[in-house]
Amino acid sequence: MTKALLLTTAILFGSLAQADDRWMSIPQAPDMPRAGTSGLAKVNGISMYYATYGTATGTPILMIHGGLAHADIWAAEVTDLMKDHQVIVADSRGHGRSSNDGSVYSYDLLAQDYLELLDFLKVKSVHIVGWSDGANIGYILSSIAPQRVSSHFAHAGNLTLAGVNPTVDTNALFGSYVGMMGTDYAAMSPTPDHYEAFIGEISAMWGKPSGMDILTTITPPTLVVQSEYDESILASHSQKISESIPGANYLVLNDVSHFAAFQAPIEYTAAIRDFIN
């Protein structure tokens, strides 16, 4: 992505901002469109929910959601991107409709799940769109299996605890997200009464990020994306990630928070398209 294109995308986000402060709320995602295929893949000891959308040829887009969430948060983006791309979504281990086999959660383990899912789907390589934990998983995939990653749109990831805003634990909007995902978990999960324990297990994973050392080995084209009002990830950390990945670019999404994909789906999708194209 050229610097001019980065600037154009940033201006687009700013010009389409709503009069009210849209970064202070999290809209509900719309319903997912009809999937071309969906099911539970037996991978790495678990049943992993997946769905595919669109019939376009070429490299598919794999969208990896954040912690506590599920594939359906991407509904608005999938509805648009499937018009001219094949899109793959999945519920990460223990999230949404996917099971866990009792294993301790780690980013390395979740990355391996996604590699085995690509094998199950017979997909050679993908453009990754990763949000939050999804970006963290994408960084690992880019490091250990660069041949499977055509590019990585990495939004709001962190690789050290120093990259996390220390006020996130008491942030009301982040708390509302945890509540929203709890409602979805109860409706989707094979263990619907397990959410409180699940939060504890994922929080333990959050306490053990992968570290910055993997970044210098990353070769797939990478766009490190930061929201202007991110409640969770510090801009200085995202900038440091971008500077540490050879050839990476950096984009700030204006007038949105950690939950930009919910708050500004049209602009978010445009940013994905600009980078992939």
- In which element (H, E) is residue 107 found? helix 107-121
pLDDT in tens, 149-169: 999 999 999 999 999 999 999
Whether 217 contacts 245, CB under 8 Å: no
pLDDT digits (tens, 9 = 90+) for 106-132: 999 999 999 999 999 999 999 999 999
Q: What 3-state DSSP class applies to 250?
A: strand
The CATH number linked to 160 is: 3.40.50.1820
- Domain range for residue 8? 3-276
Domain count, the chain: 1
Q: Is the pLDDT assigned to residue 6 strictly greater than 90?
A: no
DSSP 125: -
pLDDT digits (tens, 9 = 90+) for 232-258: 999 999 999 999 999 999 999 999 999
Buried b (16+ CB within 10 A) or exposed e, 193-223: eebeebbeebeebbeebbebebbeebebbbb
| Rounded average pLDDT over 203-214 | 97
* Tokens 């281990």 found at: 93
Going by pLDDT thresholds of 50, 70 and 90, the confidence category of residue 184 is very high
| 20: confidence class by pLDDT, cuts 50, 70, 90 | low
State the pLDDT confidence band at 12, using cuts at 50, 70 and 90: very low
pLDDT at 81 over 70: yes
pLDDT tens for each residue of 21-34: 999 999 999 999 99
CA distance 109 to 79: 29
Q: What span, in angstroms and rounded, lies between the C-alpha atoms of 101 and 212? A: 29
Strand partners, 252: 226
